[in-house]
Structure 1
Amino acid sequence: MRIPADILAAAVKDLSDLVAIPSVSARGEGMEACADSIERLLAEAGFATEQHPGDVGPFVVGETGDGPFTLVIYNHYDVQPEDPVDLWTAPPFTLSERDGRLYGRGSADDKGEFVSRLAGWREFRKTHPGPLLFKLIWIAEGEEEIGSPSLNRFLDKRFPDTKADLCWWEYGEVDKSGRPIILMGFKGILAVELECRTARADLHSSLGAIFDNPLWRLAAAISSLRDASGRILIDGFYDSVIAPDPRSRELAAKPPFPLESLQEETGGRRLLEGVNAATFYEHLNFEPCLNVNGFHGGYDGEGAKTVLPCTGMAKLDFRLAPGQNPVEIAELLRRHLDAKGFDDIALKVLDAEVLGVRSDPSHAAVDLGAELLEKWFGRPAIIQPSSAASGLAHPFIHKFGATLFGAGLTHHGAMLHSPDENILVSHFENMIGFSAEFFAALAGRFGSAPEAEPHV
């Protein structure tokens, strides 16, 4: 389907203006300027707007409408650093169009998502200019790319008693074949560092006959954490996992793509024991996992050096299921190491902020969204119970009580966080059209008290 050329042109102009602002939160650069632009766009679209300070970048809030149904839209305006600049085909902070794609830092993550929704909102209001019969809260933050350090505090202070029905998350995906993917959840994450020291300084390797080696210690400790199937062997690790609801299990039982295509796309070959073409999608959606991100110590230069290292370090991350608290898992990890005789290994928690969430996909708004996505993309939407990745959605789900709805334009070749980040113009256009009709559908379905579903 197509939208009028002037609507698309106006949206591309808005996106170009936002991409031109290098709002890199890692450097604290361009944050106020970008927040001001976001606020101006929301105000011009009819929202009552305000800004609130964050640790690095301001939070922008737009509100409009009133009614028994509340929609929260969450986006972010900060972007990743542009380095390495020499790998970009065109300047990273200049929106450029080539071969049906729009390139620029933030074009996908997350300025393009914001602009497509806002353009759709404008079109919706042209045909529905009267009072909005549901409440809409639009939140744009400037710290997502650095872990959203002040998001929880901001939400507690600004929205202490707010309840919501639906949270339209910052992004959604479009697969390689053009099918839109609705994300209903994310895994939590715990990132840790293990360090072992066995001497003041590196020793001659002949002393390995009497002194222990920190790299052996770390290897033994890490190997005690997981078996060949990927199951984590820490006592109590799975005790708090929330089992998937029947509808989520049903969705995960039918993979929307074959395992072979994932292996071809990623180059991954060696599977965990018990993972096969029939079970891999359930593992991606529901199973926690433990990764060794890096293992460091000793001599790694050219040639040989017969040395007994004095210290070693490993970085690990746990992807966690809903119900698992990262802080509690870190405590269980410490107890496991001590019980196995690795009390000399120091444990440092690097990230324990993100909790796993998974929403019930049977919410009526999800069905509305799936129907409209199919209309605009021409392919049936995939409702995915949980992304295999992590996102800081839990405040909106746990505090607001909202159902998560992750729908957007991020395709699998978008080069997120990399040079030549991009979106497809056709997906941008589809999401503008989808957004306009989604707002209209929500107003029609939930915009009056007799038909509205209660806040969850």
Structure 2
Amino acid sequence: MRISPDILAAARNDLSALVAIPSVSARDEGMEACADEVERLLAETGFSTGQHKGDVGPFVVGETGDGPFTLVIYNHYDVQPEDPIALWTDPPFVLTERSGRLYGRGSADDKGEFISRIAGWNLFRQAHPGPLPFKLIWIVEGEEEIGSPSLTRFLDSRFPDTKADLCWWEFGEVDKSGRPIILMGFKGILAVELECRTARADLHSSLGAIFDNPLWRLAAAIASLRDASGRILIDGFYDGVVAPDARSRALAATPPFPLESLQAETGGQRLLDGVDAETFYEHLNFEPCLNVNGFHGGYDGEGAKTVLPCTGMAKLDFRLAPGQHPVHIAALLRRHLDAKGFDDVEMKILDAEVLGVRSDPSHPAVDLGAALLEKWFGRPAVIQPSSAASGLAHPFVHKFGATLFGAGLTHHGAMLHSPDENILISHFENMIGFSAEFFAALCESAVTREAAADA
């Protein structure tokens, strides 16, 4: 399918208009204006549209088509704050082209993804103007960058009985070699803060001969949580973990890149016990993990200060596998601390909303998408069973029953959430073409299924 110059020009103009709206959900800025623009783009291309109130930004919904197959597309129009502005080469809310890239806040995350798909939809409809033989629901939210606080509630109220076959997630990746990555899942997350206090105020360190130290208490408490292999030592932690299906395990057994390249790219050197070049990718995809994000307390200024701190604090996060509920894991953590004698360590839950999900990569739409991605990007697509990171995909997988499909244009140098956020123009154009042909292929397969059902 050929992408006409008119389609490309319109896509650039639409992306420029969206980037120009500083829809920063953290500041509740530009939400309504950006939602209106998103709704206009959907309505102009034949969708029945509407806006629905969220905690901060409105949800925009577009619906069209009918049939036995239902596709849900999820995007978001809110962006991260632009700070620090001084580090931007050009103004953050002006789409700027330099050296084959388009720069601007939201150019990648997530306005560029949305526009590439809507441009692909326009291209598809030019070639296929008739009735759509499958149901398409497009959901674009304005709160993703602040944790989607009202997404689950919105889906429950707006789509109480909706079932879907496929959820095209808000982003996907293209690796350094140009291979498109299809993400089939995400890990859940639990973030907590631990605090220990042993005195009213800091004491002279000589009193360390009789009084305990809160930093020692926290260090000992945290050390009790996992071993050198990274295995979590909390009783019941692994109960309920959903084992990967056979194809997911086979995909993870053949890493698409060597461990050495990951070490070179990140600078990470010391591996957990039991992790090596043969197993690292399985760990990234399937294994829960515990991280100490920060450890604070006492004196950390220049020179020495002989002080016994009165208080200390640590922040931790757990990346969880499907089947582990963050709230339940938090309760197990509290029980573990109490049982180990750390009942004086206070615990505050910071984030317990995101559950892990992992979809079956054997869904026919996944192989269909992989073949089309290879056509447009010129490299075989990599089907990754699960991202090592987290995303709020569980309402779509658990509530709608949809298979997750994460395919998009984000490249490793996109500078997400940072100054000079950007996309490669070639990736943008490839995703327009892929999107158009993906819609066409789903249309054809939907017609085939309906004909077979009628027979």
> What interval of TM-score do these two structures reach, taking the shorter chain for normalisation?
over 0.9
Q: Which amino acid aligns with 1:210?
A: I
Separation in 2, partners of 1:269, 1:420? 29
Distance 1:178 1:448 in 2: 33
Q: Distance in 2 between matches of 1:16 and 1:323?
A: 41
Please give the secondary structure, in 2, of the residue aligned with 1:330. helix
Name the counterpart of 2:134: 134
Identical counterparts, % of pairs? 86
Give 2:107's aligned residue: 107
Letter in 2 for 1:217: R
Is the counterpart of residue 90 in structure 1 residue 104 in structure 2? no
Matched, 1:413 2:402: no
Task: Tell me the amino acid that sits aligned with residue 409 of structure 1.
Answer: L
How far 1:301 moved relative to its partner? 1.1
Aligned equivalent of 1:199: 199
Aligned to 2:356: 356
Is 176-185 or 442-451 further displaced after alignment? 442-451
The alpha-carbon deviation at position 451 of structure 1 amounts to: 5.8
Q: Secondary structure at the match of 1:195?
A: strand
Q: Are the equivalent residues in 2 in contact too, given 1:2–1:429 (CA < 8 A)?
A: no
Instruction: Give the whole-Å Cα distance in 1 for the aligned partners of 2:317 and 2:262.
Output: 22
TM-score (norm 2): 0.99
Structure 1 consecutive aligned stretches of length 4 or more whose deviation exceeds 2 Å = 1-6, 447-453
Q: Work out the number of aligned pairs and report it.
A: 453
Question: RMSD of the alignment, in Å?
Answer: 1.0
The Cα shift of 1:9 comes to: 1.3
What is the identity, as a one-letter code, of the residue corresponding to 1:80?
A: Q
Counterparts of 1:101 and 1:143, CA distance in 2: 26
- AA in 2 matched with 1:296: H
Instruction: Measure, in 1, the Cα distance between the counterparts of 2:169 and 2:298.
Output: 44
Q: For 1:157, what is the secondary structure of its paired residue?
A: helix
- Specify the alignment match of 2:232 in structure 1: 232
Give the equivalent residue in structure 1 for 2:58: 58
Task: State the Cα distance separating 1:8 from its structure 2 match.
Answer: 1.2
* Per-residue deviation, 1:5: 2.2
- What SS does the corresponding residue of 1:447 show, helix, strand or coil? helix
Q: What residue in structure 1 maps to residue 329 of structure 2?
A: 329
Map of 1:277 onto structure 2 = 277
Partner of 2:254: 254
Structure 1 spans left out of the alignment, 5+ residues: none
CA deviation digits over 1:273-309, x for unaligned, max 9? 1111000000000000000000000011111111000
TM-score (norm 1): 0.98
| Structure 1 Cα separation of the partners of residues 424 and 39 of structure 2 | 26
Q: Give the structure 2 partner of residue 374 of structure 1.
A: 374
Q: Are the aligned partners of 2:180 and 2:377 in contact in 1 as well (CA < 8 Å)?
A: yes
Deviation by residue 1:46-66 (Cα, 9 ceiling, x = unmatched): 000000000000000000000
Deviation string 1:413-451 (CA, Å, 9 cap, x unpaired) is 100000000000000000000000000000001235536
Whole-Å Cα distance in 2 between the matches of residues 433 and 325 of structure 1? Answer: 39
Give yes or no for contact 1:7–1:119 (8 Å, CA) kept in 2: yes
Letter in 2 for 1:224: S
Q: Distance in 2 between matches of 1:375 and 1:295?
A: 48
8 A contact 1:68–1:447 mirrored in 2: no
Q: Contact (CA 8 Å) 2:68, 2:450: kept in 1 or not?
A: no
Structure 1 residues 368, 451: closer, same or farther in 2, change over 3 A? farther
Gap runs ≥5 in structure 2: none
- AA at the equivalent of 2:209: A
Alpha-carbon distance in structure 2 between the residues aligned to 1:451 and 1:84: 56
Question: Counterpart of 2:389 in structure 1: which amino acid?
Answer: A
- How much does 1:452 deviate? 7.6
